[in-house]
Structure 1
Amino acid sequence: MITAIPLEKEIKQFTMTMNMQNDVGAASFMTDQSIHIIGNLPEDLYPFAYRGKSTGICKWHGNILNKNIIETKGDQNSVDGVTFDHADIRFILITKTLLLEYIKEQCCSDDIDLSNRMFFIDDKDVTVFLDIHTRILKNEIVSKDELSSLLLRILQNPIAETSSLEKSHILVQKTIDLMHLNVKSPLLISTLSEALEVNIRTLELAFKKEFKLSPKRYYKRLLLQSIETELRKRKQEDITVTSILEQYQIHGLSEFGLSFKNYFNKTPSQIGMMEEDENPFGWNESIFSEFAED
């Protein structure tokens, strides 16, 4: 599941599009706000992501990107991407099984290391990438040769990641891991800081540096989105809003309901009334799971 946490006070809508052609697909995410995208990808899905059309600073696992970098997942399935201001992310998606076939057919396995997570792409191939991406979204034919040639050219130009990430990034990632582990038993920020052996001020400064957002506000958004996802996915009539909230140690609807409505512009009881894949501001956290099985 992939989660997008808006980082600005005013939540704006996402525009998401996706199309699949057997073992190849394309996706596009756009939103006029800063976001943090986190989660895990399906094992056999290998994405090629381009954020060169975004405005503002973009980071991938703590590494600052420029317009000539393609992001992939390397040998891990984790996602950790931050985009400030306006986010415009274009994906060409392929199963790792098919990608390995491309590599084997071209006899270039010695020149390619799929453990890398960033690759250089020149301006000419950016144009080719965006053209192929658009055609896949439109369900137009893309030949095997042109797709494999582009992807293999990209994979032969790895970029080394930052050898020593900033301490603030490492601290924030450890904190978010704890937040996820305890999302149904939310911890106080003071408890988080004690567990990480830092003072609260250090934790606050790290989150401000990474996201321009306090850890408390980030945690609250993570919690609200986790609850909204469960409310939206409930399909049995006997699963009530109250029973879901109780799983998160929430036993009073009044204060929580106000926070929920301020965030999503809907009450908890309004979520899940219809079969919806996207949350109220347009993010579908299961979009990649539809492409390949974990």
Structure 2
Amino acid sequence: MPAASYDYATVQRVAGGQVITESDLVAAEEPLEIRLGFGPAGQREHRTLSVTMRTPGHDFELAAGFLLTEGIIQRRQDLTGVIYCPDVEKPEERENVVRAELASSVEVSMPRLERHFYTSSSCGVCGKTSIDAVQAASCPVLPTDGPFVAAELIHELPARQRAAQELFEQTGGLHAAALFSPTGELLLLREDVGRHNALDKVIGAALLQEWLPLHNSILLVSGRASFELVQKAAVAGIPVMAAVGAPSSLAVQAAAGFGMTLLGFVRQQRYNVYSGAWRITGAGS
């Protein structure tokens, strides 16, 4: 079993001049190392790909979603399995290191991947180059015939997401990514201390269940909408993305380029439409 998604901390609660010392729940945060197994039979290699700080839980989905949204795999068949590495050296690494085994037909260039992750983390690329790179990387074409989403439904999504956030209710310290049908049915929800991890878990779960592309879905994220989140949603084929917070300028540019409907500030019975307004029906009526 993976480690717990929460931990306990001793806190001093200060209110009205009184100090009370007691135990409190806090969201767990631990490193997850993602390793790759790749190559033809008899010549398999095992290499570390990335380390991310995450909330333990749904680790295999996180790894699968990460591999898809980073362009390392293109479909469910490219991934033969994900396991916790049994040969870790330290006790604290147990269930904090996963190995994703790729099909022998998947070609992996570790030097290229290392350059890619360095460039991404150092913000050394311009916006247009980033968008063009995503569009060229086998990104699914988003549907141009819908789905259509009622304006009133958009107002209801944050409450539906929040009601399903069990860990947030306990700790108050987690992001969430939720996938809904066009009629508002909650399909998937995952929580994590990292916004990107929460979305990778949702996309990974959908990938493992062979739901991709997610052309008939709405994504709601609990924080702001960054370029990386828009990019991940586009790779999964999600046509409508809503965020409780603000979008960045590059997120707006990317969504428009992908043909995605992007909503921001979805809270308190209001929201802004930044691109793809044609998918929202009944607005202003």
TM beyond 0.5: no
Judging by fraction of residues, say which structure has more strand: 2
| Structure-2-length-normalised TM-score | 0.24
| Structure-1-length-normalised TM-score | 0.23
Judging by fraction of residues, say which structure has more helix: 1
